[in-house]
Chain A
Amino acid sequence: MRKLMHQEAGQLPFLQLMNNRILVYFLLCFFISTSACTQLTKPNVFEPSWMSYDAAKKQVHFELVAAWSANNNGYNFNGYIEDELSINVPPDWDVTMTLINLDGNAPHSIVMTEPYTDDDMPDELTGEFAIFERAYTDEAYANESMTMSFKPTVGDYWVFCGVKSHGVNGMWVKFTVDAKINTPMIEIKENLLGIRR
């Protein structure tokens, strides 16, 4: 059998070369597509209702509601805190975020930051400390909304509430600019309650 295959291939060297290339392309495409499918078919990786994008223009919009649920005393974005949520976008996309505050008792904000450890996490942050230019909102009070736009570079970041003591109380989520993905998506931890999907 092995001999026969060799003979057939030997009869058509050009075809053999083409076949190898096709095979490589096929395998590569298969790998990428199955990989992406696997990602999107995981229950914790999806395109949420609060995200919209235009792939052609490379623009994505996220709507983040502070105090979406009672999680973490209301100090959450769409019900998520800390590493419960990772927002992932491809490189070179324009990102817009709208913050809506439903918290009846506290203002909230967004400042894009580098990730912190427990020891170096700031008690409060204003816009001048945003890691990308203009990547922050002012404090939004109850029923108010604020919007910000920025173009992030590849790396790991946080979406951080800059109001005093809110970040150290867990009001941040992860934000990653990932060169391995083509469209924005989010990844969440499993078995979360009261989250916005």
Chain B
Amino acid sequence: MKKYLLIACLLFNYVAIAEPIEWPSYGGGLGQSRYVDDNSINTKNISKLKLKWMFQTGVVGSFENTPIVKDGVMYVTTAYNHLYALNARTGERLWRYKHKLGTTIYCCGPNNKGAAISGNLVIMATLDAMLVAIDKDSGKLVWETTIADSEQGYSETGAPIIYQDKIIIGVAGAEYGIRGFICAYDLKTGALIWRWYTIPEPDEIQPDGTKGWNGVFAEKADGINDLHRDIAAEKAAVASGEFDNAWEHGGGSSWMPVTVDTKTGIIYATIGNPAPDLDGSMRPGDNRWSASMVSLDSNTGKMIWGYQYLPHDVWDLDAASPPILTQAKNKQGKNISVVVHAGKTGWVYVHDLKTGALVRRSDPMVEHKNLFSLPVPGKGTEMLPGANGGVNWSPGSVDPTTHTVFYSNLHQPMRYEVRSVPWRKGRLWLGGAFKVIPGEKQSGNVSAVNLDTGKIIWQYITEKPMIGGTLATAGGLMFSGESNGYFFALDSQTGKKLWQFQAGAGVNAAPMAYRIEGKLHIAVAAGGNAQINAPRGGAVAVFTIDE
């Protein structure tokens, strides 16, 4: 009997191991945990991890892509909207699609985060604010649709998310005074199903009963940190009527992929900065739902709850890094479902999934200095974090077995200066400038944070600011990359570096993993970054233990 049980167990294990692990969406699953439940590559054998293949896209730009893998094919998007299909086992190119770009206006590089796949369609969003559907086998265009007017500054740099029969995506362009939104398109036809504007109209009733985008004139961030607002002056400005139409150009991009709870069909999304970024005098009030996390009904786009991290943000410390769905302890010590976000503020926020209530905020992962200080007219103010964060767009990952999240951070001292300028169509509209401080050292870190306590477990310090993202595995590993070209693995419990590979260009993209023919593969894009001037290239590197 024991013998049969043993055979059954071995057979079960074999089947379990042999089963492919796919990565069909930007964050892996729609919960964006970026965790791969496979321990075949682990702290003991990581030294044997070797390059399996490398694919040169030939597109040298800013490479922020996380590849997706489905049915043994890897799909890679590059700067300027090239889309490649590769054999995930060998790296052989199957086809390439190049989107013919129209007018493009974008702030921070010709980036694209990735594609999505469902059925026979691969979906990519483009710099000229279009959505294209490509046949997964032939690489031919099936349909395309315009999301928004790119001449106004709307653009798409994020990855679409497919849930059931819908493509869900936000939009970028707050630096040009767009009015942000999240929308859903029909997967088969490309027809618009719904659109939810991140910046509400004046008479729109919000889930908390307030109207429009003025909010409650919150004086503190998270009820803790003074935002130094002149509430009386803001209320007077609202009453004057001078800024009645400011919401029309109120910004609030949702420029990173949304997260979906497949059990409930609820979408979770991070919303970016208000417009103009630095000049709050032109937009009195809380400027909801900029710098927020929101949840929406995926069927209708109706808003369920919102949590605003920075009411009336004037530092461009927006919410970008994608929400992560996982479990963590509540204040009473009970495991609950949570949605996690790490902000440019450098804090990790843990929210109750159902209500959006803040369960806890972590210790700061980066230095805070003069936090939320207001620029002095003509002089500005020096503040940390700088406008890139903290955590910029970089996706984090979570080890659900230990309730630990891993985030890439930047340390960039900056001087904020304000100068009012009127909105002009398609023109940059920051309302001031972010200036570096000569001689001030910049750096980065990867931080491991315990979601149950908010405490930092360890930090891995890097010479350059970190933009890219992380991947966690059941093998006790955390993968990430640096601007100097090193792709590395840390012990996820201690932060000790166990392995590294020099990729030849900045590794400023979030890694992913897939299992094919029983072997776990780790993949990452190495092509640098325009925003932090990491050395450019255009390669996808794939690693495995081949023995």
Contact = CB atoms under 8 A, between A and B. Distances in A.
Count chain B CB atoms within 10 A of each CB in A71, A103, A105, A144 and give the residue with the most: A105
A70 B436 contact: no
Mostly, the B contact residues are loop
B433 interface: yes
A103 B434 CA distance: 6
Interface string A131-163: 000000000011110000000000000000000
B292 to A, nearest CB: 22
A191 to B, nearest CB: 15
Interface string B92-108: 00000000000001011
B20 interface: no
Given A102-B438, A107-B533, A69 B431 contact: no
Interface residues of B, number: 30
Contacts of A103: 433-436
Interface residues of A, number: 23
Interface of B: 105, 107-108, 278, 378, 380, 386-388, 412, 414-415, 417-419, 421, 427-436, 438, 530-531, 533
A53 to B, nearest CB: 25
A105 B316 CA distance: 11
Given A72-B421, A104-B386, A104-B414, A165 B428 contact: yes
B380 A70 contact: yes
B105 A165 contact: yes
Nearest to A166: B428
B438 A74 contact: no
Mostly, the A contact residues are loop
B419 A69 contact: yes
Contacts of B380: 70
Contacts of B412: 104
Contacts of B435: 67, 74, 102-104
Interface string A95-133: 000000011111100000000000000000000000000
Interface of A: 67, 69-75, 102-107, 141-144, 165, 168-169, 193-194
Contacts of B415: 104
Given A75-B428, A165-B105, A67 B433 contact: yes
Contacts of B107: 105-106
Nearest to A143: B436
A73 B430 contact: yes
Contacts of B386: 104
A108 to B, nearest CB: 12
Nearest to B438: A143
Q: Top 4 nearest A-B pairs by Cβ distance?
A: A74-B433, A70-B417, A70-B419, A141-B533
A104 to B, nearest CB: 4
Contacts of A71: 419
A165 B533 CA distance: 18
A69 B380 CA distance: 10
Count chain A CB atoms within 10 A of each CB in B380, B386, B429, B435 and give the residue with the most: B435
Nearest to A169: B428
A72 B420 CA distance: 9
Count chain B CB atoms within 10 A of each CB in A67, A144, A193 and give the residue with the most: A67
Nearest to A101: B436
Nearest to A74: B433
B533 A74 contact: no
A194 B419 contact: yes
